Chains A and B, each alone.
Chain A
Amino acid sequence: MSPDFTPALKLDLGATPPGTAESDQQQVADGDSTVHDVVIVGSGPAGYTAAIYTGRANLKPVVIAGSVTAGGDLMQTTEVENYPGFTDGIMGPELMATMQAQAERFGADVRYEDAVKLELDGEVKKITVEGGEVLHAKTVILATGSAYRELGLEDEKRLSGHGVSWCATCDGFFFKGQNIAVVGGGDSAIEEATFLTKFADKVTLIHRRDEFRASEIMQKRAFDDPKIEILWNKQVIGISGESKVQELSLEDTVTGDVSALPVTGLFVAIGSDPRTDLFKDQVELTPEGTVAVQGRSSKTTLPGVFAAGDVLDPTYRQAVTAAGSGCVAAIDVEHYLAEHSARAQDQDQLTAPSAAQRSPLPH
């Protein structure tokens, strides 16, 4: 069917009656749109953990997983060795498939769609997905993660797909027997470099400082690998090549000297930035660009809007911290809904012990 068939506009919910925060999922004025208890935007470890917890609390979470980004960054990794519970490690995509299955087991509705617009103020939040469908929710968990940082060089985009890459597991194969480079100094840069030695003859690891911020075990792997050469205090200032990467220009960050490094591939692993485009004008951000939350909670500056995972975390950014943060958001959502339904009941002059009875928390 033609996508034009999707109604361009659904009703404006401006006229939502007060007290919508009643019990279970309910119909709003237009009759074809449920007000969900919680919609989770994002499907990395934070999103799926939030879905597992809110699912177990019987809140029937809807997860807007993304059409091509479902599972988040771990879909592009190989072995995850530091996620607790897996003695021998687990492949990133397998871990995410497991988390998704676990969330679905508890009733999560995972949709392979992209959120294109969020309207987060007011009692009922609106989430517009690609194609125009609008979801309504009492609470939203922002778990949009982060996006790979680019070097910002003129030729980076032009040569992307022609030697410049952000995904070693996808593209290492194309560099069999070649000399390539990885730029970056964190765990992911070193993971990529060591992974790429399976294919390349030589991998030059370029870092702008004189020490890595990667973990000790990862650093040792790089130091011990005969195929990896490390260039300290160098930054990439240019990428050249007519139709594919041929050479990098490097600048010494101490002396300012410029040198050339002939390589056929460049893998960029210089970190990532929080993905806040959809809501940066609606909730407060920190100076680092992450979503600002109150203390150790997941509460953003808007009531009923919570954040989880890398999007609020400028520091730790691990699969396990993201998962923990998803759990925090889910519990905050439960408390928020319990308080709101209690308040709505008070307004309806209903008597007493409702708040405790209505708490969705398992005992």
Chain B
Amino acid sequence: MSTTDVTTSNFETEVLNSDKPVIVDFWAEWCGPCRMVGPVLEAISDEHADSVKVVKLNVDENQEIAAKYGITSIPAVYLFDGGEVQKQSIGAKPKSALEKEFAEYLGQA
């Protein structure tokens, strides 16, 4: 399963009310490091599809959500579970680093 885009209008359904934990990639077109993180999250999404859902949120087009969660640096990768932020990771990090930070939600690869 690859990453899908979420917006302000479906954030509640797709993220907050999700049965599975959701990793949200806050990104923007102008952010160089964000472009590097994209494929890393695609890979995590593919490998851990049973445990988590991975989505992307464009902060430029969905400023309300970015503001609500106090995003001031991107790439920002947040993990939501049960409608709440459980983990956050700031900056472009390699796959292994993200997997480590989110380990308890990723289950067995």
The answer on a CB contact under 8 Å between B73 and A67 is no
CB contact under 8 A between A244 and B93, given known A169-B30, A169-B32, A170-B32 = no
Q: How far is the CA of A37 from the CA of B37 in the complex (A)?
A: 30
Q: Mark A63-87, 1 if CB is under 8 A from B, else 0.
A: 0001111110001100000000000
With contacts A162-B72, A163-B72, A244-B72 taken as known, whether A2 is within 8 angstroms of B47 at the C-beta atoms is yes
- Contact residues in B for A336 (Cβ distance below 8 Å): none
A152-179 near B? 1/0 per residue, CB < 8 Å: 0000000011111111011101110000
**Nearest residue in B to A172 (C-beta to C-beta)?**
B30
Inter-subunit contact B73/A68 (CB<8 Å): no
* Chain B 33-57: CB-based contact to A (< 8 A → 1; otherwise 0): 1101101100000010000000000
- Whether B70 contacts A67 by the Cβ 8 Å rule is no
B73 touches A167 (CB 8 A): yes
Q: Which of B47, B73, B93, B109 interacts with A165 by CB under 8 Å?
A: B73
Could you tell me the distance between the alpha carbons of A333 and B31 in the complex, rounded to whole angstroms? 35
Q: Does A93 contact B (CB under 8 A)?
A: yes
Please encode chain B, from 47 to 71, with 1 for each CB lying within 8 Å of some chain A CB and 0 for all others: 1000000000001100000100011
Across the interface, B66 reaches (CB within 8 A) one of A75, A166, A170, A174, namely: A174
> Nearest residue in B to A78 (C-beta to C-beta)?
B30
Which residues of the partner chain A approach B2 to less than 8 Å between Cβ atoms? Answer: none
Of B36, B66, B76, B109, most buried by chain A (CB within 10 Å of CB) is: B36
B31 and A169 form a contact (CB under 8 A): yes
Q: Is A265 an interface residue (CB 8 A)?
A: yes
A92, B91: Cα distance in complex, Å: 19
Residue B94 lies at the interface, judged by CB distance under 8 Å to chain A? yes
Residues 56 to 109 of chain B near chain A (Cβ within 8 Å): 59-60, 66, 70-76, 88, 90-96, 109
Q: Does B16 contact A (CB under 8 A)?
A: no
Q: How many A-B residue pairs have CB under 8 A?
A: 84
Q: How many residues of B contact A (CB 8 A)?
A: 30
Q: Is A130 in the interface zone, CB < 8 Å from B?
A: yes
A2 touches B30 (CB 8 A): no
Interface size class of A (residues with CB under 8 A): 20 to 34
B59 lies within 8 A of A173 (CB) = yes
Instruction: Assess whether A243 is interfacial by the CB under 8 Å rule.
Output: yes
**Chain B contacts for A66, CB-based, 8 A:** 94
- B93–A3 CB distance below 8 A: no
Q: Which residue of A lies closest to B34 (CB)?
A: A170
In the complex, chain A residues whose CB is within 8 Å of the CB of B109: 2-4
A112 contacts the other chain (Cβ, under 8 Å)?
yes
Q: Is the CB of B40 within 8 A of A265?
A: no
Among B37, B40, B73, max chain A CB count under 10 A is at B73
B2 to chain A, nearest CB (A): 16
Interface centre among A75, A170, A174 (most CB of B within 10 A): A170
Contact A244 B73 (CB under 8 A): no
Q: Annotate A47-77 by CB proximity to B: 1 below 8 A, 0 otherwise.
A: 0000000000000000000111111000110
Residue pairs across A and B with Cβ atoms less than 8 A apart, 22 shown, are A2-B47, A66-B94, A67-B40, A68-B33, A70-B36, A75-B32, A75-B33, A112-B39, A130-B96, A166-B91, A167-B33, A169-B30, A170-B31, A170-B34, A171-B73, A173-B30, A174-B59, A174-B71, A174-B72, A174-B73, A244-B70, A265-B72
